[in-house]
Structures are given as C-alpha cells and as structure tokens.
Amino acid sequence: MTKKITERASFGSKLGIILATAGSAVGLGNVWRFPYMTGENGGAVFILIYVICVLLLGIPCMISEFIIGRHGQSNTARSFRLLANGTPWALVGYMGVLTGFLIMSYYAVVSGWCLQYIWASLVGHLQGDPEYFKTYFAALSGDPVKPVIWTVVILGMSYLIVEHGIRNGIERASKMMMPTLFILLLIIVAASCLLPDAGKGIEFLFKPDFSKITSDVFLGAVGQAFYSLSLAMGALCTYASYFTKYTNLTKSATQIAVIDCLVAILAGLMIFPAAFSVGISPDSGPSLIFITLPNVFQQAFSAAPFVGYIVSLMFFVLLSLAALTSLMSLHEVATAFFEEEFHTTRKHAAIVVTTTTIVIGAFCSLSLGATDTLTFFGRSLFSWFDFITGQIFLPIVGFLTCIFIGWFVDHQVVRDEFTNWGELRGRFFHLYIFLVKYVCPLAILLIFLHQLGALN
C-alpha cells in the first residue's frame, strides 16, 4: 500500500493546483447559471448574499473535501472509506462519485451546445431577429443528431486531456485554458461596459436594493454558492488527492473561492451592461445565454457588426473553455474511481467512463425533444438528471460530508491536515470546526427542505 502512495501522481506546482481546481469550479455555473439567477433574484442583493455564502459556507466545505481527499490519497470513494473505518460513512464517498458521474452526462450535453454555438457564430448563423434565436435554440436542443455529435466531441476532448494524467493532462490543459478564459472575459467585459447606457447594468449589479431580500433570494444564493464551487460531487476531493503535503489547504480554498466569485461577477459585467444598453430584461431564466444573449450582442453592436461577431464568437469560446475545465474534473472523478477500484489502467478507465457518459448523455440529449419516450412523470431525462444531482444528491452529500468531518472524524486527523502536520499555525481551525459542525449543515438542510417544499 505504501508503494501505491509513493507512486501516486500529483500536481507539479502551486499555480497548477489553483488553476486546475479553479477550472473545476469556474464553469457553466458562473457564466450561465449565475447571471440568470442574479437577474431573477434582484441583482446586487443576490450577489452580496452569494459572496457571503461562498466565504462563510463554501470555503469550510471546500476545506473539508480537501482534507478527506488529501488524507486518503485516492479516489473519492476510497478516501471516505479510509476515514470511515468500516462504518457506513464510506457510502457518502460512493454517492459523491455517483453524483459526479451523473452530472457529467448532462453537463456534457450543455457543453456540447457551447461548441455548436462556436460553430454557429463562426459561420454566421447567429444572426436574425429575437424569434429566430428562440427557434434556433429549440431546433438545436431538440435535434436528434447534432447535439449528440457535439457531446461526443467535447467528451472526446475531455478524454484526451484526462488520459494524459494529472501533470501532462489536467494541469497542462488548465494552465493554457484558464488564462485564455480570463483574457477573453476581460475583453468582453470592456466591450460591454463601453456601450452607451451600460451604467444601468452596472448599477443593477452593484447597488443593492435591500427590499428585494426574500427567502427565495437567500436560499437561491446559498444553492448557487455550493453549485458554483463544485462541492459535493467528488471533484474537489479527487483533485485534493493530487495535492502535495505542502499545499496550504485553507489558503488554496480561499484563493479558489475568490477566483470563482470574481469570474461570476465578471460574467455579470459581461452580460448585464450589454443587456441594459439595448433595453432587454435580464431575467429570462436558463435560456439567457443561448437565446437572449446572441440577440443582445447583435443589437448592442449593431453599429459595428464585426465587433458583435467577434464578441459573440469569443463569448462562446469562453463558455466552452469554462465547461471543458469543469467537465474534465468530473471525468477525473470517475476515471480515478474505475482505475483504482478495478485495478485497471488510466487509459482503460478513461475509455469506460467516456463511452458510458456518451451513451447516457445521448439519452439525455434525445429526451429534450427528439423523442417522448424519455420523459418520466412529466420531466425529461435531462431534467431528471439535473434535478436529482443538483437538488437531491448535492445537498445530501454536502450535508453528510460536513457531519462526517465535524462530528465523526478524529479532530486530530482533521487538525493535522489543516495545519500540514503542525507546519502552519492553523489560526482559523476553531472557526472552521464551528462552521463545519453547526453552520454549514444547518444551511444545507435549509436549502434542501426549501427545495423539497418548492416541489409541491
């Protein structure tokens, strides 16, 4: 067993750790979900609560996953098993892996749409009136073939990266993709904020109207914080197993959370000023980026159509990069699991994961219009996956992880990991334990109950 530990791959540098893990966190959640949630939930107040939730709840949960992963030096299931000492707590790890695997299938479908939109912007298909964008999206997502092909393409890309291992695959790819993503983001933000009347959008994002706080806004923000940081799906735990014993877990978690918030807010600054400048309301929900946004860019830059074309193209490249870095972290969760639990090679494991995901992803995609047979109880397979992973498994795994670390695992083990075996002072250890023991589980329980209530 010692042999296994010394042989285990690890990230090569601190920067690699931050960029790869931030790559997992920064995804469609930041660029797609965050802006429409902000639009629907009153703008600045939502952002304020979201940032507080990330700092107060997100960081402690992230540190807990890091502790479990780095302690276990293995895939999520095995890492939980090691700390669980033969108790059923090990099941939480298996559930994390399963959640990661399921979310990956539908995440791949949406990531595929992003690639399709790059292509569409490139060849000039993203031009027309508002009605056109609606039909374009409906036709794409309901098409039996095209989205499946794009899903296969993006999973193929993710496969190629994951197959190359941690340093040569995931770390190298993150070091190229994340800076590119940042540069594109800043360029689009600048273009959007320079538009006439952009100030109204900026005000919407930064001037809180406290009368808009409701329990929905509050719980929406807690949920968004968890989703956005990639918590409770085995991803952070798996990545942490490739950290070194010198990695400062608290500092890394804080840096990653700050990057994640920053990208989300910049995504808002990319979308809202442009939307307000052409008088389009930003509360159109999930279809915001695929339907409203191409139209917004087209209208906002109507005086210089070429700029509009470039901005729209850059936007979808950015979106695809964000999606791919998250997708590959999910790919890694399942790949590490198969590789280590079934004692096979990384390549084999990655192939099994890719093919299975392609099959499940194809069904998810087909359930969106190509056939009625994949709709159960009025919900398409796609939306079942989204619902079960995001609203059931995520809170359950998140809740149990906090309870596991806060109440079950020996605090000396937790402290050792927290302070790198006494190397660091661990000034915030007591605060961390307090948050993980009481505050985080309670907050997660509240969102869970709220979501179940919203079911009826």
CB of 325 to ligand TRP, least distance (A): 8
Cα–chain-centroid distance for residue 323?
8
C-alpha to C-alpha distance for 235 and 99, rounded to whole angstroms: 10
Cβ nearer to ligand TRP, comparing 270 with 280: 270
Residues forming beta bridges with residue 389, ordered by sequence position: none
- Per the CB < 8 A criterion, the answer to whether 210 and 337 are in contact is no
CB of 444 to ligand TRP, least distance (A): 14
Within 10 angstroms of residue 186's Cβ, the number of other Cβ atoms is 13
CB of 328 to ligand TRP, least distance (A): 9
CB of 106 to ligand TRP, least distance (A): 11
Cβ nearer to ligand TRP, comparing 106 with 227: 227
Cβ nearer to ligand TRP, comparing 232 with 435: 232
CB of 263 to ligand TRP, least distance (A): 9
- Per the CB < 8 A criterion, the answer to whether 154 and 112 are in contact is yes
Within 10 angstroms of residue 139's Cβ, the number of other Cβ atoms is 11
CB of 155 to ligand TRP, least distance (A): 14
CB of 28 to ligand TRP, least distance (A): 4
Smallest CA-to-CA distance from 327 within 17, 61, 11, 23 is with 23
CB of 456 to ligand TRP, least distance (A): 26
Residues forming beta bridges with residue 379, ordered by sequence position: 376
Please, what is the end-to-end C-alpha distance for the chain in angstroms?
50
Please state the φ and ψ torsions of residue 380, each to the nearest 5 degrees: -70, 160
Cβ nearer to ligand TRP, comparing 191 with 330: 330
CB of 139 to ligand TRP, least distance (A): 25
CA max distance for the chain: 67
Cβ nearer to ligand TRP, comparing 45 with 236: 236
**312 to 184, 298, 430, 442: CA distances (angstroms):** 11, 8, 47, 42
C-alpha to C-alpha distance for 318 and 337, rounded to whole angstroms: 29
Q: Which pair of tokens denotes residue 272?
A: 């809202």
CB of 443 to ligand TRP, least distance (A): 17
CB of 298 to ligand TRP, least distance (A): 26
Q: Which pair of tokens denotes residue 408?
A: 């079950």
CB of 321 to ligand TRP, least distance (A): 12
Cβ nearer to ligand TRP, comparing 103 with 274: 103
Cβ nearer to ligand TRP, comparing 237 with 358: 237
CA angle 260, 170, 112 (to 5 degrees): 70
Please state the φ and ψ torsions of residue 334, each to the nearest 5 degrees: -70, -35
Rule CB under 6 A: which residues touch ligand TRP? 24-25, 27-30, 103, 227-228, 230, 233, 235, 326, 329-330
